[in-house]
Chains A and B, each alone.
Chain A
Amino acid sequence: MGLFSRIVNTFKRSPKVDWDELEELLVTSDIGIRLAMEIVDDLRDKGRKIDADDVIAECRKVVMERLPDSTKPLPLPTSDGPRVILVVGVNGTGKTTSCAKLGHYLQSKGHSVVLAAADTFRAAAVEQLETWAQRLNLPMVKGAPNADPSSVCFDAYQSAKARGADYLICDTAGRLHNRNNLMAELSKIRRTLGKTDNTSPHEVILVVDATTGGNAVQQAKEFHKATELTGLIVTKLDGSGKGGCVVAIQNELDIPTRFIGTGEQAKDFAPFDASQYVEELM
């Protein structure tokens, strides 16, 4: 049940607004206690006596203000080389799966896509992406085990360019944002990609797990510092995690959510639609 339906259900019972209950509803979505309090205060400050109906309308407005419709499309293919999408994030959020899903999505829109298996670290990470690549019929470039991920991306770029591919999607190893050396490795991948085409990478996407609480904002901050994020993919919205962290990230860092993951199959993936997200998923 989405945020607004839960608010409707809760406040249907009585005409008087229970602010604590509203705060609790917001907090259970993982938007963070500070933002929840801010929203509640905003609503209270409306000055007039708000009743349950107003709360829903106002709440919708206040949340949507913090989550602008971010349907900004991915860059269109050009003739001077593939558009490069670098996919990053902490361990286990769904990067590899999302690379496969995004590749499939772009392919279904008629584009040609190459995947780069630049997680040379985790056990069987390459095999995992390779299985997806075979399943979805997407070409994939990999390096030797423990190869430098930058060089895998570099080679993959050359290969994608030679093929005339529209997009190159680079999967990277999961890393915790407080590990300086691993974050530096990511900056290096970014720089290396810029060597052949100084506009590349064209997108750097952080994959965030909808199950994550307050730490997601910290994750986004650090990844943003290392790689200049252009967007988010929020995964596992098929679970009971509400992914409110993307509202918090948008609110604090102004990084928009681009796609959502709603399952373990390639089809469980869609562009992000803010109002649908808040109505139905959050």
Chain B
Amino acid sequence: MFNQLSDKLEGVFKNLRGQGKLSERNIKDAMTEVRLALLEADVDYSVARDFISSVRDEAMGEKVLKSVTPGQQIVKIFRDKLAELLGGDQAPLELTPPARILMVGLNGAGKTTTSAKLALRLKKEGRRPLLVACDLFRPAAIDQLETLAREIDVPVFTPDRDEKNVIKVAKQALKWAETQNGTVMIFDTAGRQEIDDALIRELEDLQKFLQAKEVLLVADSATGQQAVNVAKRFDEAVGISGIVLTKLDGDARGGAALSMRSVTGKPIKFSGVGEKIADFEAFVPDRLADRMLGMGDVVGLVEKA
């Protein structure tokens, strides 16, 4: 039914009908509510401000005045713009040979799981994926990828357990791949904080060597205000080609996605929707937009009205 935001906006516009003009006050109050909703969804402070100011005039136009349900109308306009922005230039994976995908992100974001999920998806598309374990740091990270690879029956390169040089591992993996008849390689890397310069440099070196055409930033959908920093820093360092949003099976509002999309201009390509390897989908911008504004099927309702 109606969501909280549109209820609040209906309140703001209570006596609007027949007035022919929106008051300054109406506009200000309405924008305050929209801003609150975005900030509560974890959109970055300045990203939220910029987004609102870019949509504001349209949201406050004729259509709203004439609508029986101005609050819902405004929410719909913001929601559509949001979906448009989140979905803009959604691109398929660039998999011309040598097809290499590098997975990067913060600790615990879901890189290893997503590597396996992506491999399964590519396999179902008829490709022949290979997995490479380049997390030499986290205890049992290699075992984790190896277990997942076995589960989906995808070949996996596992380095010596005491190897510490990630470039060396990548070299060995490329050599190994020559014997594997694969068509696309997926490299899982260790999690790292974006302000850890030494570890970011390691990633830079790895990408310099691999020249992967796909560098996917794996990000937890519950990420807060750090999102902008994370996306910017990883993008500067290794030039990300897209974003994977994980743990969307939770109830986080997912505003970090808007922040990351806005500051990097890079598309969100996939969603992780569960712990199982099959819980993986192409990203659906409309659904995330609805979620960020905390609504059910308001759009359907407005369109019927």
| CA gap between A212 and B107 in the complex, in Å | 12
Q: Which of B39, B137, B253 has the largest number of chain A CB atoms within 10 A? A: B39
- Could you list 10 further interchain pairs (A-B, Cβ under 8 angstroms) beyond the known A124-B144, A212-B222, A244-B224? A30-B226, A90-B250, A124-B146, A179-B249, A211-B223, A213-B224, A213-B225, A215-B42, A236-B107, A238-B195
Q: Is the CB of B251 within 8 A of A218?
A: yes
Interface residue? A177 (CB, 8 A) = yes
Q: Is the CB of A33 within 8 A of B223?
A: no
Nearest chain B CB to A231 CB, angstrom units: 20
- Which residues on the B side are within 8 Å of A132 (C-beta)? 139
Q: Is the CB of A33 within 8 A of B36?
A: yes
Interface residue? A137 (CB, 8 A) = no
Interface residue? B247 (CB, 8 A) = yes
Q: Is the CB of A239 within 8 A of B225?
A: no
Q: Is the CB of A176 within 8 A of B249?
A: yes
| CA gap between A135 and B196 in the complex, in Å | 24
Q: Is the CB of A242 within 8 A of B222?
A: no
Nearest chain A CB to B228 CB, angstrom units: 9
| CA gap between A29 and B138 in the complex, in Å | 28
Q: Is the CB of A236 within 8 A of B193?
A: yes
Interface residue? A51 (CB, 8 A) = no
Nearest chain A CB to B186 CB, angstrom units: 16
- Which residues on the A side are within 8 Å of B107 (C-beta)? 92, 94, 236, 239, 264
- Which residues on the A side are within 8 Å of B249 (C-beta)? 176, 178-179
| CA gap between A205 and B224 in the complex, in Å | 22
CB-contact partner of B40 in A32, A179, A264, under 8 A? A32
Q: Is the CB of A211 within 8 A of B224?
A: yes
- Which residues on the A side are within 8 Å of B247 (C-beta)? 90-92, 176
Q: A123-B147, A124-B144, A131-B140 are in contact. Are A239 and B224 (CB under 8 A)?
A: no
Give a binary string over B3-39; 1 marks a CB under 8 Å from any A CB, 0 the rest: 0000000000000000000000000000000001001
Q: Is the CB of A92 within 8 A of B109?
A: yes
Interface residue? B88 (CB, 8 A) = no
Interface residue? A78 (CB, 8 A) = no
Interface residue? B89 (CB, 8 A) = no
Residue of B nearest to A237 (CB): B193
Q: Is the CB of A92 within 8 A of B110?
A: yes
Nearest chain B CB to A119 CB, angstrom units: 11
Q: Is the CB of A264 within 8 A of B137?
A: yes
Nearest chain B CB to A129 CB, angstrom units: 8
| CA gap between A24 and B110 in the complex, in Å | 29
| CA gap between A124 and B113 in the complex, in Å | 12
Q: Is the CB of A27 within 8 A of B225?
A: yes
Q: Considering the complex, which residues of chain A in the window 227-246 have a beta carbon less than 8 Å from any beta carbon of chain B? A: 236, 238-242, 244-245
- Which residues on the B side are within 8 Å of A174 (C-beta)? 275
| CA gap between A191 and B181 in the complex, in Å | 52
Residue of B nearest to A96 (CB): B139
CB-contact partner of A216 in B106, B222, B230, under 8 A? B222
Total number of B residues with any Cβ neighbor in A under 8 Å: 44
Interface size class of A (residues with CB under 8 A): 35 or more
Q: Is the CB of A128 within 8 A of B223?
A: no
Interface residue? A209 (CB, 8 A) = yes
Give a binary string over B234-256; 1 marks a CB under 8 Å from any A CB, 0 the rest: 00000000000001011111011
- Which residues on the B side are within 8 Å of A121 (C-beta)? 275
| CA gap between A121 and B137 in the complex, in Å | 22
CB-contact partner of A128 in B46, B144, B151, B256, under 8 A? B144
Q: Is the CB of A240 within 8 A of B251?
A: no
Nearest chain B CB to A88 CB, angstrom units: 15
Interface residue? A257 (CB, 8 A) = no
Interface residue? B229 (CB, 8 A) = yes
- Which residues on the B side are within 8 Å of A239 (C-beta)? 106-107, 193-196, 226
Interface residue? B268 (CB, 8 A) = no
| CA gap between A128 and B140 in the complex, in Å | 5
Residue of B nearest to A243 (CB): B224
Residue of A nearest to B139 (CB): A131
| CA gap between A239 and B275 in the complex, in Å | 25
Interface residue? A122 (CB, 8 A) = yes
A-B contact pairs, 7 of them (CB 8 A): A28-B45, A30-B225, A92-B108, A213-B255, A236-B193, A240-B226, A244-B224
Q: A91-B108, A131-B139, A176-B249 are in contact. Are A245 and B144 (CB under 8 A)?
A: no
Q: Is the CB of A209 within 8 A of B108?
A: yes
Q: Is the CB of A213 within 8 A of B45?
A: no
Q: A131-B140, A215-B253, A264-B137 are in contact. Are A24 and B229 (CB under 8 A)?
A: no
Q: Considering the complex, which residues of chain B in the window 141-192 have a beta carbon less than 8 Å from any beta carbon of chain A? A: 141, 143-144, 146-148, 151
Q: Which of B41, B107, B141, B151 has the largest number of chain A CB atoms within 10 A? A: B107
